[in-house]
Chains A and B, each alone.
Chain A
Amino acid sequence: MEKSCSLLVHFDKGTPALANEIKEALEGNDTARKVDAMKKAVMLLLNGETLPQLFITIVRYVLPSEDHTVQKLLLLYLEIIDKTDSRGKILPEMILICQNLRNNLQHPNEYIRGVTLRFLSRLNEAELIEPLIHAILSNLEHRHAFVRRNAISAVMAIYKLPQGEHLLADAPDLIEKILGTEQDLSARRNAFLMLCNCAQERAVNYLLSHAESVSGWGDLLQMVVLELIRKVCRSNPGEKGKYMKIILSLLNSNSTAVMYECAGTLVSLSSAPTAIRAAANCYCQLLQSQSDNNVKLIVLDRLQELKASHREVMVEMIMDVLRALSSPNLDIRRKTLDIALDLITPRNIDEVVMTLKKEVVKTQSKELEKNGEYRQMLVQAIHSCALKFPEVASQVVHLLMDFLGDSNVASAIDVIIFVREIIETNPKLRESIMARLLDTFYQIQAPRVATCALWVVGEYSLSLPEVEAAISTIKQSLGELPFFRVAEDGEVIDSSFSKTTPQSTRGLASHSAPVVASSKRPAVLPDGTYATQSAAAEIAITAPSVSLASVGAAANLRAILLTGDFFLGAVVAATLTKLVLRFEEVQPSKIAVNKAVAEALLIMVSMLRLGQSSALPQPIDNDSVDRIILCIRILLGSDDVIKSVWLKGCRESFVKMIKDKQQQEIEEKKAKAQILHAQPDDLIDFYHLKSRKGMSQLELEDEVQNDLKRATGEFTKDTDSSRKLNRVLQLTGFSDPVYAEAYVTVHQYDIVLDVTVINRTNETLQNLCLELATMGDLKLVERPQNYTLAPEGRKQIRANIKVSSTETGVIFGNIVYETTSVLDRNVVVLNDIHIDIMDYISPASCADVVFRNMWAEFEWENKVAVNTTIQDVKEFLSHVVASTNMKCLTPSSALEGDSGFLAANLYAKSVFGEDALVNISVEKLPDGKLGGYIRIRSKTQGIALSLGDKITLKQKG
């Protein structure tokens, strides 16, 4: 175990204080200077200097000082100096301070006594404490509570030392007596804590004999009581019953901290529904009563844990949980919805949806800044409710459709996707939804929403009046044809467009602007492909300067089209085709059909014209042209095959997609459920054989201990030794006079190098020093020390290196030594040690939207061309995933099939919380090789570069 460090003070290396200056100031009589010098001495010590010569000065001149601050600083100094020699034996001069400590313990100033006692409770050297025992004990009866409480904690700390029981054999006795008489809350707490830690039975006895008065004990003490109860019940589960009453009485405590702790204790002790319910109730109470966001979030975390283990109980609490939605904080709302969504059952679904509906309405009435996002969350929540319980859809779908024209595009998209799904899964609602959709169609502003809405209209308008209404709605929203008028500007636009030179130059000129405007950064499309956004994307261009037919408020599609979004045009054309084809089926009158066909053709042609004219800054893209022309062809003459493709095939594949999605969800659930299954060797609780109802065995308390150990970094995972040996690096050659090899352990924030140095000569090497230097974000923690190495001797040297960001780092250095025969120093240069970035990143997952947002936001991109011997795209992907330790976000279903083309997103997080994004786009080239790019993006350069290097290195396969 490394030396523990009890304080850190920033030390400015720019102003080094010299040891002799400090010494001089310490020897003087000026108190202020002495204080200053003591501070400097402590800082120097913290900075790694040893200042051995200062100790005697301090003993001589500082120890007798009367000044309180000097005395306190002296205690800090004593706290951090090395009190033992290299073999762990106490330094003889340390005994000099004992006298001073004893004086302090008998000092008339109670605060001096107190701080000295506090210092003693941090002291680990029994030899130093031994002579002071008597003085410490006498302080237990001091008049001031300040002294008593510190004395008690000192006694506890001493008793806990390895030799503590010999030093203070009667400590539990004493403390128990004190506990009976003590009035000060802190002192009582410390006393009880001491009994808990050192003499558990006594603590239990005391607690049980005072069970009635526990509720009046004061919060600090109550917390320890709860700690004790948990501890006792862990080692002796049968005794839980005794403490239940106490816990329940504490549950009504005035202190919220105690309430919280109580609930935690209840959960850890019992799985009886009543206990869980009480705990959940308590959490909900805190959730409502506490205004602090931190508390709310953490309480929600606890509720989430409860939900995982005791769903049935939590189901009853769902409405209480939902009340947390009243908080304006989005994180809290999100967590609340997460919890609530998992708890819905047929019984409470109505209530939940009502609440959600109310919240949605609320977002409409008040204009808060985050309303849009919140609404999106609610829509998603309602969506998933409706998926689970389709019957509620009818209640909400109409309300939600009001938001199709929402200015927050994301929530509008959510709504339309929801509608699309409901209309398929809920045939009963089809008619009403269609009617409603056509009503609200004019409000739709966003192209993506509009395309989706058009698809729904085209697919689900079945009856004659519906089809008619749909066609007329689309027509209306397109407005008057044509889309632009030729005459007014005197511009001639005809098919010979390309021949008129001034026109084309003009066209070019007007191109340049949008090129700039549309030179947006490339984005990752939802299917994982990496694309520069084409016309299909929303490009914010204001209405073109050509004089246009007046754009009515109703003509929303027209407005979008005129911004140059021809993808929408293609969708409109397809929708019209579908509608007309269906019209043919349901309309007996041939005349009406022909009219409809003609109108549809006119619209499509107008759109093509608009696209090819110079009226818009950017011409129609070829995809859209093809699509519209295809529609025209179909309308001009169609056969049954094509008809069935258009009218049925589309629908079928959508149905399939929904089914797939449900399938996938079910599978995920199954996978989750599988994890929850008991292990073969788990204990089985036989409900009927239990003596006390609902008391199950839980080892939760061990977690507390582990938790603390993990937090202090004491806890190290066991790695299998085979991996360990892989990390041994040879640093020098076998024929070098000094052989060195290092074993590198990478912890979370630090790297430990265990270097074995072997003297291969027959001489004694003196002042042997391992000098290391680093490149990258690495920092050496200690300065190297000098060693003497006997002939053929070996030495283990340990070096700590601090890591502060995810980056490939290099450690290099040399070994310097002197021999007796030669005066000058010899140097052996070491092999470089490369620290692998892979040790710092771990697979993580994030939502598709989040990923794309980060992708757009991050500054650094590293593009690596694919160059590999692997022949198969999927094999290549799995190879990259394996070698970079990342997670593939693209679902496996999207990667299925054998198209010779693959696009996938990978994601990982570093231990420092940095994100690493990778996009792979590969295709199989005709010659059988793979081609394409791997792009890495991150917020910092380091990750992008190191990860790129790593991939370049590993991709060969």
Chain B
Amino acid sequence: MVVLAASVINKTGKALVSRQFVDMSRIRIEGLLAAFPKLVGIGKQHTYVETENVRYVYQPMESLYLLLVTNKQSNILEDLETLRLLSKLVPDYCPALDEEGICKVAFELIFAFDEVISLGHKEAVTIAQVKQYLEMESHEERLHQLIMQSKINETKDVMKRKANEIDKSKIDKLRSDKGRMIPMPIRLDNGFNDITSALSGEFGSNSGFGSSLDSDTFSKPKARVSAPAPTKGFGMQLGKTQKAAQFIESLKAEGEVIVEDVQQVIAGPSKSTALVTDPIAVAIEERLVVALKKDGGLENLEVQGTMFLTVQKKEDAYIRVQIETGANKGFQFKTHPSIDKELFSQQNILGLKDPNRPFPTGTPSGVVKWRMQSRQESLVPININCWPSVSGGETFVNIEYESSKTFELQNVLILIPLPALREPPIVNQVDGDWRYDSRKSVLEWSIVLIDNTNRNGSMEFVVPPTDSSSFFPIDVKFSAVRTFCDIKVASVNQTQGGNSLKFGGRTQLVVESYQVA
């Protein structure tokens, strides 16, 4: 009762995924799998095949076979059970039951097979259990991470205390013998090195906190070491005065926060990175909706812009923002209801009506919105021309783009719908890269950057004869760092005192919809 292998193969016997549970040579398993399609009878109402040496138990799945290879003494009832379980699992992990789909999730399938069959023996598992095993969500791991975190914090506290003590002793020593000023820092540095090395030693040797846990790890502490390491660096630089030591403390507290933030950022969309790191961040974002006609000409162009203000800390929330704007013909501006409208229209300053109130902190809040609609063709940042022509038994499609000089476009992606094709189209010539998405049957033409060096570009591809209307609507996606509206932030000042504050900014033009139809 041994399952030799669990495999997914196609109708010609090509092994897409196969997991063997006993030792067997590659040529053997490949031979067995290749022989299988020839052994399957047509119109049979049973799903096993026996040969001289092995038994195949299989289940057809669309154009593929899910297959268990067992020895002939194997218990058929158990094998069928296993097969049934696997046949439910496979579509779960692979929504598209074709070769491409299986190849994409090959490794996930191997992991799943491993959970269902161990060393050739069936495991008593349900689908839900298999999924749980594969998710690997461990309560204990989280708990462990929490414990680790608190240990690290604790250790940092210890470090801080030590640093303080050293500071104190340093000051004492400074007081006692002022004559020896020069050698002191060296000795101090040495002392610090001792402490840090002791600390890292503790991390490395795993004796500090690992012993109290039943499950101590090696990789964990090593990875964690990297987090406090920069703060140690600060510690040595700033550890000159009592005040500085306190600053370290607060910084460390913050540093901790930052570390966590960074982790979140990695998980979240990378867009917001710029916003979060600056204490005050201004983001100008424009969304572009363009509808072009197939035969040239602009149907509609609409620009919607928003300025977001993000204030990180409450202390910095009492501010006014000085804005510089250009001529901006045809733009209509609207401010947030709590913004002082007069101040804005007269001095181009964004401030709250009540100067004693702070801006909301932590989240981006929209302060100004503007909108522009136009039919002026010269405004269009990129024009697409598509010329399908039938010649012989094929349709040649020439596409070219022409970009206006005002913008530098990034990550331009032109999506040309194609009729359902079996094979990717033949691309004769292309500026940039292309890719064919057979699932959506879309040809993706991508140009990383359009600037003054390549304002024009073209592509030619060949497909079987097709109606020219099937290449539309063409979708275009891109982004740019310039906006239609000439607007930027000149300075940010505190409401009281008028000190100017540092701010970060980001300007972005994104395409909401850009269609040639």
Residues of A within 8 A of B (CB): 1-10, 12, 39, 42, 63-64, 66, 68, 72-73, 76, 99-100, 102-103, 106-112, 114-115, 118, 121, 143, 146, 149-150, 153, 157, 185-186, 189-190, 193, 218-220, 223, 227, 256-257, 260-261, 264, 286, 290, 292-298, 329-331, 703-704, 707-708, 710-714, 748-750, 781, 800, 802-805, 911-914
Contact = CB atoms under 8 A, between A and B. Distances in A.
Interface stretch (B19-27, B344-352, B440-448): B19-27
Interface string B118-145: 1101111100000001001010110111
| A189, A219, A292, A713 interface centre (most CB from chain B within 10 Å) | A713
Contacts of B271: none
Contact of B27 (A2, A73, A157): A2
A165 to B, nearest CB: 20
B17 interface: yes
Contacts of B119: 121, 153, 157
Top 7 A-B residue pairs of the complex, sorted by shortest distance between their CB atoms = A749-B31, A108-B144, A5-B26, A4-B23, A713-B28, A8-B18, A109-B138
Contacts of A12: 103
A951 B284 CA distance: 85
Interface string B27-51: 1111111110011000011111000
A3 B138 contact: no
B223 A3 contact: no
Interface stretch (B72-80, B363-371, B454-462): B72-80
A612 to B, nearest CB: 46
Contacts of B222: 64
| A112, A750, A912, A914 interface centre (most CB from chain B within 10 Å) | A912
Contacts of B32: 749
B13 interface: yes
B362 to A, nearest CB: 27
A272 to B, nearest CB: 22
A607 B331 CA distance: 105
Contacts of A10: 14-17, 99, 102-103, 106
B20 to A, nearest CB: 5
Contacts of A294: 46-48, 57, 76, 80
Given A66-B223, A112-B136, A294-B57, 5 more contacts: A9-B107, A149-B118, A296-B46, A713-B53, A750-B31
Nearest to A749: B31
A557 B347 CA distance: 114
Contact of B22 (A68, A109, A712, A748): A712
Nearest to B140: A108
A714 B219 CA distance: 41
B172 to A, nearest CB: 43
B254 interface: no
A298 B54 contact: no
| A146, A707, A803 interface centre (most CB from chain B within 10 Å) | A707
A7 B18 contact: yes
Interface of B: 1-2, 4, 7, 13-20, 22-35, 38-39, 44-48, 52-54, 57, 69-73, 75-78, 80-81, 99, 102-103, 106-107, 110-111, 114, 118-119, 121-125, 133, 136, 138, 140-141, 143-145, 215-219, 222-223
A5 B75 contact: no
A107 B1 contact: no
A295 B77 contact: yes
B219 A66 contact: yes
Contacts of B22: 708, 712
A296 B47 CA distance: 11
A711 B140 contact: no
Contacts of A800: 27
Contacts, number: 227
B73 A707 contact: yes
Given A109-B138, A153-B119, A185-B124, A297 B218 contact: no
B167 to A, nearest CB: 35
A713 to B, nearest CB: 4
B255 to A, nearest CB: 20
A674 B81 CA distance: 42
B151 to A, nearest CB: 13
Contacts of A708: 2, 22, 71, 73
A805 B37 CA distance: 12
A914 B38 contact: yes
B218 A257 contact: no
Given A64-B219, A261-B75, A800-B27, A912 B118 contact: no
Contacts of A157: 119
Contacts of B81: 257
30 contacts: A2-B25, A2-B26, A3-B26, A8-B7, A8-B15, A8-B18, A63-B219, A109-B140, A112-B136, A121-B119, A149-B118, A149-B123, A153-B119, A186-B118, A190-B118, A220-B122, A220-B124, A223-B78, A257-B77, A257-B78, A294-B47, A294-B76, A297-B48, A298-B48, A707-B72, A712-B4, A713-B24, A781-B26, A802-B27, A802-B34
A711 B133 contact: no
Contact of B138 (A111, A290, A713, A748): A111
Contacts of B107: 9, 39, 42, 73, 76
A230 to B, nearest CB: 10
A802 B72 contact: no
Contacts of B114: 115, 118
A803 B31 CA distance: 8
Contacts of B52: 710
A257 B82 CA distance: 12
B17 A295 contact: no
Contacts of B33: 8
A116 to B, nearest CB: 12
Contacts of B145: 108
Given A42-B107, A118-B118, A297 B27 contact: no
B124 A913 contact: no
B24 A329 contact: no
A749 B15 contact: no
A333 to B, nearest CB: 11
Contacts of B35: 749, 804, 911-913
B46 A5 contact: no
Contacts of B23: 4, 712
Contact of A227 (B1, B17, B28): B1
Contacts of B20: 4-8
A193 B124 CA distance: 15
B31 A748 contact: yes
Contact of B215 (A76, A107, A149): A107
A712 B71 CA distance: 8
Nearest to A12: B103
Contacts of B38: 805, 912-914
| A111, A153, A330 interface centre (most CB from chain B within 10 Å) | A111
Contact of A5 (B7, B24, B78, B219): B24
A295 B80 contact: yes
Given A7-B110, A185-B124, A294-B46, A704 B73 contact: yes
A336 to B, nearest CB: 14
A102 B218 contact: yes
Nearest to A139: B215
A298 B80 CA distance: 12
Given A10-B106, A256-B77, A106 B121 contact: no
B47 to A, nearest CB: 6
A711 B75 contact: no
| A4, A64, A66, A710 interface centre (most CB from chain B within 10 Å) | A4
A871 B138 CA distance: 84
Nearest to A712: B24
Contacts of A710: 52-54, 71
A108 B221 CA distance: 13
Given A109-B136, A261-B75, A5 B25 contact: yes
Contact of A106 (B19, B48, B218): B218
A714 B102 CA distance: 30
A153 B118 CA distance: 9
A260 B26 contact: no
